[in-house]
Amino acid sequence: MIFRILLLAFMVAACGGSQGNVGTTAVGNAPQAATPVEPMAIVPIFDADSAYSFVAAQVAFGPRVPGSKGHAACGNYLVSKLQSYGAVVLTQDVTLKAYNGDLLPSRNVIAQFNPEQANRILLCAHWDTRPWADSDPDPANHYKPLPGANDGGSGVGVLLEVARQLSQVPARVGVDIVLFDAEDYGLHEKDSHLWDKNRHSWALGSQYWSMNPHRRAYNARYGILLDIVGAPDSRFCYEGYSAHFAGDIIAKVWKKAHEWGYSKYFVNEEGGAVTDDHYYVNRVLGIPCIDIINCDPDSPNGFGAHHHTMQDNMDWIDTETLKAVGQTVLAVIYNEK
């Protein structure tokens, strides 16, 4: 704990200037005009145990597959949680059509902090979970819904804790937390040879929101998507679309992560391009948006051995990883003005 307090003091000193005397007038033998002093950025301490409990709460609803009872109950939980943190919350309740024809009752959840501020940052994650554990080693599980602790739960858990922090110490910028639905109903592994025809089968909630943002002419300076951010020893690489559309945001976020001691997680390596929610935010809305997503080239599909298997449960959620991601996000947004 003492170490954390010292670290906080260091971080504040490192990015501030000298203390206090913002806008005071020089007197006595001081120079005639006061040198303008940057106000210090106060970065709250991210509580990873709190974030962990938010992941566990989602998992306790069961799989959050659109149309399921757990999905509806979790959607209501997310809205009331975000409202309790003082956000102005909107939902987009729409039926989206999956690539296989399934009709998905979907809900994007949009939580606005400081809504009248024009200078805004977008934070996002998907909250639905995959209907099929189609990467499970046991083929008997290929049509079963998975627990979605890491894939779905982790990004939302981190953002709920960010929301809780925003309720305690307001940021200087406006923040929108957008929780996308229907990200993970994309092409089943058995049909992977049909990728070209189905490349837009993922991220349906993000596609909807990007084409129908909650405000006319919605804009944010940039966006940060969190996806699969909870596994122990996660590694976040420069995801391909993020590097292409938002290389300066990658640089900004990685720099903060390294300053705070998380270079073990935020590695300086290129990853593959992932058709994820941020793709449509970049392509349709033109908001530069990065994807912080686990990158594990040695695993079957590149996102970790448990990805899209029945093993994606709380055993794969690690508070140290949640801390690295959540603290980095807080450091980035509380340094903006």
Which residues are at the interface with ligand AHN (CB under 6 A)? 151, 184, 186, 202, 227-228, 274-276
Output the smallest distance, CB 184 to ligand AHN, in A: 5
Give the binding site for Zn ion (CB under 5 A): 130, 151, 184
Minimum distance, C-beta of residue 117 to ligand AHN, in the bound complex (Å):
30
Considering beta carbons, is residue 155 or 326 the nearer one to ligand AHN? 155
Cα–Cα dist 251/243, whole Å: 9
Q: Which does 274 bind (CB under 5 to 8 A by kind): Zn ion, ligand AHN, none?
A: ligand AHN
Query: Closer CB to ligand AHN, residue 114 or residue 150?
Result: 150
Give the three-class secondary structure for 226: strand
CA 7 to chain centroid, in Å, comes to: 24
Report what 276 binds from Zn ion, ligand AHN, none; CB cut-off 5-8 Å by kind: ligand AHN
Contact of 295 with 271, CB cutoff 8 Å? yes
265 — phi, psi (to 5°)? -90, -45
Nearest CB to ligand AHN, comparing residues 275 and 319: 275
Nearer to ligand AHN, 275 or 299 (CB): 275
Closest distance of CB 277 from ligand AHN, Å: 8
Residues 6+ apart with CB under 8 A from 2: none
Is 209 in a helix, a strand, or coil?
helix
Helix (H, G, I), strand (E, B) or coil at 74: helix
Q: Which one, of 55, 43, 261, 79, lies nearest residue 168 by Cα?
A: 43
Rounded to a whole number of angstroms, the minimum distance from the CB of residue 122 to ligand AHN is 18
C-beta of 183 vs 318, nearer to ligand AHN: 183
